[in-house]
Amino acid sequence: MPEFDTSHVKSIVLMGHAGSGKTTLAECMLYEAGLITRRGSIAEKSTVSDFHPLEQERGNSIFSTLLHTKWRGYKINIIDTPGYDDFMGEVVSALRVADTGVMLLNASAGVEVSTDILWQYAEEFKTPLIFAVNKLDDDHADFEKTVQEAKNHFGNKVTVVQYPLDQGKDFHDIIDVLRMTMYHFKNDGGKPEKMPIPESEKEKADNLHRELIEAVAANDETLMEKYFEQGELDEDDMKMGLNKAMIQRDIFPLFCLSAERNMGSGRLMGFIDNVCPSANEMPAQVSKSGAKITCEANEPPCIFIFKTTNESHVGELSFIKVYAGTIKSGMELENENTKTTEKLNQLFLIEGNKRTNVNELVAGDIGATLKLKNTHVNNTLHAKGKSHELPPIAFPKSNMTIAVESIKKGEEEKLSLALHQLRDEDPTLLVEYSPELKQMLIHCLGDMHLAVAKWKMENLYKVDVKFSKPKIPYRETIRKMAEANYKHKKQSGGAGQFGEVYMRIEPWYEGMPEPAGLNVRARDNYDLDWGGKLVFYNCIVGGAIDTRFLPSILKGVMEKMHNGPLTGSFVRDVRVCVFDGKMHAVDSNDISFKIAGLQAFRQAFQLADPQLLEPISKVEVWCPEDLTGAVMGDLQGRRALVEGIEADRNFQKIIAKVPQAEMEGYSSSLRSLTQGRAKFNGYFFEYAPVPYELQKKLVDDYSKLKADEIE
């Protein structure tokens, strides 16, 4: 039998901006529950959560870490998550399987930009939330300001359950308006002394108590009637009402903490086990086919893979949430995504970097298993004969692209394997080989995300790599009409080669009129793989060129469009009219007209006012108002066209179009410029003309490169 049944398992995720104290709070919770005998610290590199060498080196969380406590008859699974946007994928996967989110707010910084991002994900998953104002012992702590910002950002459903009597160095007392008690802590924290609320605070505490009761009663008709009749709700009523209101996301209780001094963590844990929902109280999971999956131990098993890691000498460790049934060691389940059968050889409880073997995991619980052969993140495993597939996690999209190559020749295959394994572990890291740019590209969430990937490749997979600026996928087009002809003639004994082509090219645009002065006999439209169009006309009169040679001319044109005359980039949005030419009864053949078509197109292109186009990204930057000027100045230095600024909650959102060539290093620049108080996203928007001087430089550089290759 499992030690805890489903109703006594709670799963929470600790979230918050970098530096809000999540890892320190997790340490307090383990200590308060007696799972560790001494609280570790980030400075001493001794915390249970941030155990990875890279986390200890950098002094911040990089990976989500699974922990658990046992508290007053309940098991509380805790997932400690990173605070930087670069590792948002770790947070999203944790939110997907948590029953409650604990959002930490830094009392000296208020609501920070990452908090808003996390809120949006919590809303998407409909996750019940607790807010915890931490660092109330900081000299710059401002509880009232932080609460007001939380209400401004997230609405009046943010409801105060606790407030500090004093802040800063004098922070020792928390007034709890749910229990109408004051908790007094010694300097080193720990178990507090329960005391009456001081007379000077009675009116404030009573008002907040009444607000809390009214907020709870407002979401339940029975409780509302009882409150009107009695003017109060008892502890059981409040527990039931808060539980229901949290599940419906009608209340977001707010607590007080100093995780550094271990003040307030025990009360928070008590609220989690006493009030927060367990998995079987939350709405049932719904499969992609619409079937409801009931979170009960006696149902057919159904589990979801939300995270994987590769451990040296061990293999792949898969983190799982049990959504139904009871899974046991040795059990075989079907993978709905890969249609394979997987055997759960071992099951584990995870405590940071430690694993404890267990025989069973019950519905609602979180654990891990080893060496699943064909199972990855977002896969669903279920009992044989079922066909459940749970909705996948939608991971954040990349903001940064870099080229990667192995330093040592001959290690390309080793690099490819390392990248493949990294991609399996981290779905926010995308890898592709670009035939156009002839580069292996990594798409990631920022420079810190990239640094972690580099560390793993070099330290875990033993591949020395170097990153470089990715080439820019320019495009070439024309701005006016031009005509050219080319005669290809070659005689070398026997049959020769002969083909002559007269060609007109024009800029193509939707709805343009038919070619002037030409006799159109046929027209073909081609949507190009790289964007844009080629429209190809047969305007031959009198059989000057046999129709059978037109595909060869088209082939020559397309070959040159793959390698444009200006910079070797793809050509787009051109109309080509073949209107005259000559052929020879014996010497004309396909290769002759292919060459003639290619050269005629090249010459005409050079005469048609060629234009180089560059990819433009639409970029949105969220930052505090006081940093708007600095962020805009940096964008304008990147040739950005700022389209507008609009208020988004308490932040300013700057919307701009920025050339992709200017986005190199933007992630680290923005973090440095704003001390991590801003975030951005970007996506490809359009191709636009390159400024004249820059085009001239790019064309000259390409010409020199080709000349060097010939030499």
- Is residue 418 located within the same domain as residue 546? no
Give the whole-angstrom CA distance, residue 653 versus residue 634: 15
Residue 709 lies in a domain: no
Sorting pLDDT into bands at 50, 70 and 90, what band is 2? low
Sorting pLDDT into bands at 50, 70 and 90, what band is 676? confident
Q: Which pLDDT score, from 0 to 100, does residue 611 have?
A: 97
Summarize the confidence of residues 44-58 as an average pLDDT.
91
If residue 667 lies in a helix (H) or strand (E), which one and from where to where? helix 666-674
If residue 329 lies in a helix (H) or strand (E), which one and from where to where? none
- Is residue 264 located within the same domain as residue 317? no
User: What sign results for the dihedral spanned by CA atoms 32, 327, 376, 373?
Assistant: positive
Sorting pLDDT into bands at 50, 70 and 90, what band is 650? confident
- Is residue 464 located within the same domain as residue 432? yes
Of 353, 460, 468, give the one whose Cα is nearest residue 401: 468
pLDDT digits (tens, 9 = 90+) for 69-106: 998 889 999 999 999 989 999 999 999 999 999 999 99
- Is residue 262 located within the same domain as residue 351? no
Q: Which pLDDT score, from 0 to 100, does residue 369 have?
A: 96
Residue 111's SS3 state is coil
User: At a CB cut-off of 8 Å and minimum separation 6, what does 581 contact?
Assistant: 485, 499, 500, 501, 502, 540, 544, 545, 596
Q: Which pLDDT score, from 0 to 100, does residue 404 have?
A: 96
Of 521, 539, 527, give the one whose Cα is nearest residue 576: 539
- Is residue 101 located within the same domain as residue 194? yes
Give the whole-angstrom CA distance, residue 323 versus residue 366: 9
Residue 524 lies in a domain: yes
Residue 580 lies in a domain: yes
Residue linked to tokens 């000349």: 707
For 226-251, the DSSP string reads HHHHHSS--HHHHHHHHHHHHHTTS-
User: Percent of the chain having pLDDT more than 70?
Assistant: 99
If residue 623 lies in a helix (H) or strand (E), which one and from where to where? strand 610-623
CATH number of the domain residue 428 falls in: 3.30.70.870
Residue 347 lies in a domain: yes
Give the whole-angstrom CA distance, residue 123 versus residue 256: 23
If you average pLDDT over every residue of the chain, what do you get?
93
- Is residue 676 located within the same domain as residue 643? yes
For 511-548, the DSSP string reads TPPPPTT----EEEEEE-TTSSEEEEEE---TTSS-GG
pLDDT digits (tens, 9 = 90+) for 594-612: 999 999 999 999 999 999 9
The angle subtended at Cα 537 by Cα 535 and Cα 539, nearest 5°, is 165
CATH number of the domain residue 686 falls in: 3.30.70.240
Residue 708 lies in a domain: no
Of 13, 256, 216, give the one whose Cα is nearest residue 122: 13
- Is residue 307 located within the same domain as residue 200? no
Has residue 313 got a pLDDT over 80?
no
193, burial (CB in 10 Å: exposed 0-12, middle 13-18, buried 19+) = exposed
pLDDT digits (tens, 9 = 90+) for 402-411: 999 999 988 9
Give the whole-angstrom CA distance, residue 406 versus residue 393: 32
Strands 100-106 and 9-16: parallel
Count of H-run helices and E-run strands, the chain: 16, 38
Has residue 112 got a pLDDT over 60?
yes
Domain that residue 433 falls in: 400-468
- Is residue 166 located within the same domain as residue 268? yes
CATH number of the domain residue 559 falls in: 3.30.230.10
Of 505, 466, 458, give the one whose Cα is nearest residue 611: 505
Number of domains in the chain: 5
Give the whole-angstrom CA distance, residue 112 versus residue 95: 19
Residue 391 lies in a domain: no
Residue linked to tokens 């802590």: 185
Domain end point (choices 546, 577, 608): 608
Q: Which pLDDT score, from 0 to 100, does residue 710 have?
A: 60
Determine what percent of the chain falls in helix, strand and coil, rounding each to the nearest 5: 30, 30, 35
More confident residue, 86 or 230: 86
Q: Which pLDDT score, from 0 to 100, does residue 315 have?
A: 80
Domain end point (choices 468, 485, 511): 468
More confident residue, 181 or 542: 181
Domain end point (choices 260, 281, 302): 281
Residue 390 lies in a domain: no
- Is residue 324 located within the same domain as residue 425? no
pLDDT digits (tens, 9 = 90+) for 608-620: 999 999 999 999 9
What's the predicted TM-score (pTM) here? 0.88
- Is residue 187 located within the same domain as residue 116? yes
- Is residue 263 located within the same domain as residue 316? no
- Is residue 93 located within the same domain as residue 118? yes
Has residue 495 got a pLDDT over 80?
no
Of 288, 291, 268, 292, give the one whose Cα is nearest residue 280: 292
Residue 204 lies in a domain: yes
Residue type at position 283: P
Has residue 433 got a pLDDT over 90?
yes
Backbone angles phi, psi at 617, to 5 degrees: -100, 140
CATH number of the domain residue 329 falls in: 2.40.30.10
If residue 266 lies in a helix (H) or strand (E), which one and from where to where? helix 265-274
Summarize the confidence of residues 537-559 as an average pLDDT.
95
User: Percent of the chain having pLDDT more than 90?
Assistant: 81
User: At a CB cut-off of 8 Å and minimum separation 6, what does 371 contact?
Assistant: 315, 316, 345
